[in-house]
Amino acid sequence: CEKDVLIDILTQRCNSQRLMIAEAYRDMYGRDLITDLKENLSHHFKEVMVGLMYPPASYDAHELWHALKGADTEENCLIDILASRSNMEIFQMKEAYLMQYNNDLQQDIDSETSGHFRDTLMNLAQGTRIEGYADPSTAAQDAMILWEACQQKTGEHKNMLQMILCNKSYQQLWMVFQEFQNISGQDIVDAINECYDGYFQELLVAIVLCVRDKPSYFAYRLYNAIHDFGFHNKTVIRILIARSEIDLMNIRQRYKERYGKSLFHDIKHFASGHYESALLAICAGDAEDY
């Protein structure tokens, strides 16, 4: 079957090889491969095959555009992408967004979201997180600010909370979270869940979880998407494609450790047909994962 061949070719190549295939396809046939995939495939299988053809930054831009400009804003897509990307990844996705849609990502976030959720997304989208620097002498001070923000919950405190979580280095935040535990006797995630709600709370928790361990965060998101939402296809597709050449092996490992069943097993249980085959090929499970 041609679809099986398509799955083999596109899932068994890395992204740069797929881009070379698209270039050769254009040279040989004078046609755009993404356009042909869109015209000849359907449903979720199409989303997977087309998604694989984008460079990582372009794929993030594509997902953000649809999350912001679709019928309903998809807040969880915005959270997954912006809470987890490095400064360089954010810079590249903003460039891709501008090129692909002739729009400014930050302006679109500003117009399509609201409140402290919007402010935090806007801060993340600046891509100005300090990288690789930690100052133990200020960790307790930052932790105290976070603790006060969880107690007071004023607009000013929410701003301080998001400024620390969006701008301090991961190494610094590790120490801050430890100091927070010492000061409050409580884990920072539990404190945020107690004090805040809605998408603002989900975004803050996502940042903390990504600081601690990104593969664990994405394993948690995949498990929720598969089990809590009756298989939320968009989330599953997006995470598998976006993380396939970054940390998908680690995500699979965390998934199995945390939930007892493999990611491969759960996808097989919920998806079907060529769509299932494509997801499993990206997931690249081992024999014991059946």
Residue numbering of the annotated binding site: 230
DSSP element (H, E) containing 169: none
Closest CA to 162 of 150, 151, 174: 150
Sign of CA dihedral 101, 62, 106, 171: negative
DSSP H helices in the chain: 2-11, 15-29, 33-40, 43-52, 56-69, 75-82, 87-101, 105-112, 115-125, 136-152, 155-167, 170-184, 188-195, 198-212, 214-223, 233-243, 248-259, 263-270, 273-283
- Give the three-class secondary structure for 234: helix
Q: Which two tokens stand for residue 13?
A: 């190549």
First-to-final CA distance of the chain: 23
Separation between Cα atoms, residue 203 and residue 270, nearest integer Å: 27
DSSP designation for 289: G
Binding residues for Ca(2+): 230
Closest CA to 89 of 51, 68, 59, 52: 59
